[in-house]
Amino acid sequence: MTRHLLSASDLDRAAAIDLLDVAEEMSEAMSREVKKLPVLRGRTVVNLFFEDSTRTRISFEAAAKRLSADVINFSAKGSSVSKGESLQDTAQTLAAMGADGVVVRHSGSGAAHRLAHSDWIDAPIVNAGDGTHEHPTQALLDSFTLRRVLHGAPVSGAARGAWSTDLTGATVAVVGDILHSRVARSNVHLLGTLGAKVVLIAPPTLLPWGVETWPAEVYYDFDAALADHTFDAVMMLRVQFERMHQSFFPNTREYTRLWGLTPARYRALPTGTAIMHPGPMNRGFEICAEAADSPRAVVLDQVTNGVAVRMAVLYRLLTGAPGTGGAVGTALTPEQATPAGQEGTL
């Protein structure tokens, strides 16, 4: 892992597993009565959001605060951006204020990369979603959730080697609007890195040009894919109408009939198949209420796990923990893992 996290492809297998393992430690810390850790005390994290978001922004804010960092939330609405201020001017303003880390979400693909490779600000950059490009922390929390589905949560206090596992042997379906989905792109990278097989299912009009070169199998027919594979998880994607400027399918009813997770398709899945969704869900459209509310749905687990994963990312990037062999460092030390006002270790 480099100084920034801009893409899921930035992570090799060792770095990805390391982040998932640190996230397990963060998750264990979050289960305590006092949830704060002092590792980022005195640091300032800026959430620089040029796009609307609920889950991602709140998740990063909670993650930074639980690491004892100071948090500044920037929203383009009501800021000088609405007066024409550029990304460069905004970044230089944040640098002048002493930002130690910046979490950026932007409608333009490549915005996070531009910020990270400019001389506008000297701080680690975390990509929280850039256009239709990538959303690496979402892929990390999806892999974290899937790893728990497959292997369970580690036993409290167990040595890291006992639960540092990847996703080898898992088969994951990603269904829906692949064309506009940064979540799909990041998951294809990361799930493949961790050893899982990815199957993309979508109408031809909602698949990007060149998808045949991706490390994934492609289906246009949801039912055919269900017949050919036994899925460990089915990840449904929201159709992003706000990014569409033309018709990509006849109508919503036709989409649901052919590519939605209907009650019939849900019941046809193996009993162990996890139902995933990055949110927000459109019930009755891409996913039926029966599936969304079933015991097999891990959608709320994804939200919970997102905080622990983003704590791990901020910890690794902002503390500058050294890495070996592509990994981004070692486990929290006892001193770092001691909550403010408490004694104990992870």
* Binding residue ranges for L-aspartate: 83, 182, 238
- Distance CA(291)–CA(272), nearest Å, equals 13
Known binding residues are 55-56, 83, 105, 135, 138, 182, 238, 279-280
Cβ neighbours, 10 Å, residue 325: 9
**Overall residue count recorded for the chain in this entry:** 346
User: Residue 7 contacts by C-beta under 8 Å, 6 or more apart in sequence?
Assistant: 113, 127, 133, 134, 136, 186, 189
H helix intervals, 152-296: 182-193, 222-228, 252-259, 263-268, 289-292
CB 65 within 8 A of CB 89: no
β-bridge pairing 233-236 and 171-175: parallel
For the annotated binding site for carbamoyl phosphate, the residues are: 55-56, 105, 135, 138, 279-280
What is the Cα–Cα distance from 228 to 273, expressed in whole angstroms? Answer: 15
Rounded to whole angstroms, the Cα distance separating 166 from 146 reads: 10
Residues paired with residue 174 on neighbouring β-strands, in sequence order: 200, 235
Q: Which residues of 190-211 are buried (b: 16+ CB within 10 A; e: fewer)?
A: bbbbbebbbbbbbbeebbeeeb
